[in-house]
Structure 1
Amino acid sequence: MSKDILGKALLDYLKLEYTEDIVTQSTLDEADVLPLSYMFRNFEQMPYLEQTALKNCKGTVLDIGCGAGSHSLYLQDKGFLVTGLDKSPGAIEVCKERGLLKTLNNNFLNLRDQKYDTLLMLMNGIGIAGKLKNLDQYLNQMKKLLHSNGQVLLDSSDILYMYESDDEDGGYWIPQDVDYYGEVTFTMSYKNEDSEPFDWLYVDFNTLKRAASFNGFECEMLIQGPNDDYLARLTLM
């Protein structure tokens, strides 16, 4: 997303120049809307799954893909030493303007020589892996960034239901050119400007648990959400 569509939109909203929302297109379905106001929600406006994740944070926290910083700011207000990480320069500028004290404008895989007690990956933060084949690389990076007693808190969704067949005999129809049904390609549009296509991963819990175990993590489900979503905790074996 070299055009930083998200960052531009968040900055407009912060500066009271809001006129429209981000529109997303994906290989899954028709156009959808990402309301900018949702990125600025407070704790009471967050889904129960996110609230639970924030309540389970401990120690030093890295908020991966922090966006407008709503999760980070809540934790900072609660006394946590939290760092907001986002590769969007605009998003990081918004976080700073909103009062977040520690930020990193970088790619998650580029981080070195830092250790945290909690890695926080909300709003399907594990999606940054893009493809299932990349999941091992991201899990190994998590291991490098965690203290020995640290944890990863992440949410994702099992989107198999989106491939349900309309046939009377039921079943699922998954395109043959897809390696794993949770792999989706998105574009974002804002004010007549389009992002480059980017890959995003939705991973079902059992697949995540197998990958986590292979890479030296215990994986437990903390919450099963109402929409095939879940909150998981990963800890080092």
Structure 2
Amino acid sequence: MEKDIFGNAILDYQLGTYTEDIKTYSSLDEEDVIPVPYLFRTFKAMPPLEQKALKLCKGSILDIGSGAGSHSLYLQKKGFDVTALDQSHGAVEACKLRGIKKVVESDLYDLKDQKFDTLLMLMNGIGIVGKLKNLDKFFTHIKTLLKPGGQLLLDSSDIIYMFEEDEDGGYWLPDTGNYYGEVTFTMEYKKKKTDEFPWLYIDYNTLQRAAQSSNFNCELVSEGEHYDYLAKLTLDLQ
């Protein structure tokens, strides 16, 4: 199995050898496509929630799951001290080629002894948590990366709309015992596939409850047009 599907596609585009997009297969029985050029979009081409998040950034910034580095590049051009973090070797190489000055190839949980004013997780970056039960571990680690007064900015989606609605306005959810936003994915690029991996979509109310239980304040900053939202988390210092 090819591990760095995402990074290979990003690096191909950066090197001018782009010929096809990334295919995704999920436990929601949906086949979809990630257009690789979209990962290189400019600020003007970004969704309003992403634009809002970038405008809220302050101080030193860690762009978690930076991918092709479009958010980092925009912030760097605005004069911010930004570090692009990704565990994909191909993505990291592309970020360097695009001129991003600080790029780190690492898993989030392996990053230690550094603190930032803003942690940025866009394009449902919170998905890396995988499952709801992992949120405590995630929040515990995030606390070690935040400077006093720092913030975590993230966007996600409530995917309840993808399930069948009943006559009473409720939804038919699979009786698996798992949270409905826990999805598994496989990616394919140039006939190579990744192993199956977990990915989390979290509705705002669930995020807020989990954040508060870990002593974070959670603010709904903005809502998108299709069940998506932008949230800001800060540590409750009381």
TM category (shorter chain) comes to over 0.9
Contact 2:39 2:68 in 1 (8 A): yes
Contact 2:139 2:211 in 1 (8 A): yes
Paired amino acid for 1:191 = K
Alignment coverage as a number of residue pairs: 236
1:231 maps onto 2:230 in alignment: yes
Deviates further, 47-56 or 156-165: 156-165
Matches within 5 A, 1:135-154: 135-154=135-154
SS at match of 1:91: helix
Per-residue deviation, 1:28: 1.2
| 5+ residue gaps, structure 2 | none
Deviates further, 22-31 or 126-135: 22-31
1:120 maps onto 2:120 in alignment: yes
In structure 1, the residue matched to 2:75 is 75
| 5+ residue gaps, structure 1 | none
Cα distance in 2 between the residues matched to 1:185 and 1:224? 25
Paired amino acid for 1:145 = L
Cα distance in 2 between the residues matched to 1:68 and 1:200? 19
The TM-score with structure 2 as length reference comes to 0.96
Cα distance in 2 between the residues matched to 1:153 and 1:30? 28
Per-residue deviation, 1:168: 4.6
Contact 2:2 2:192 in 1 (8 A): no
Matches within 5 A, 1:37-116: 37-116=37-116
Per-residue deviation, 1:164: 2.2
SS at match of 2:221: strand
Paired amino acid for 2:89 = P
Q: Percent identity?
A: 62
In structure 2, the residue matched to 1:15 is 15
The TM-score with structure 1 as length reference comes to 0.97
C-alpha RMSD of matched pairs (Å): 1.2
Shift >4 Å, 4+ stretches: 167-170
What does the per-residue CA deviation read over 1:126-180, in whole Å, with 9 as the maximum and x for residues that have no partner? 0000000001111111111000110000000111111123x55553121122510
Paired amino acid for 2:201 = Y
Shift in CA distance, 23/178, structure 1 to aligned 2, threshold 3 Å: farther
SS at match of 1:8: helix
Cα distance in 2 between the residues matched to 1:93 and 1:123? 20
Per-residue deviation, 1:2: 5.9
Cα distance in 2 between the residues matched to 1:169 and 1:76? 49
Cα distance in 2 between the residues matched to 1:205 and 1:104? 29
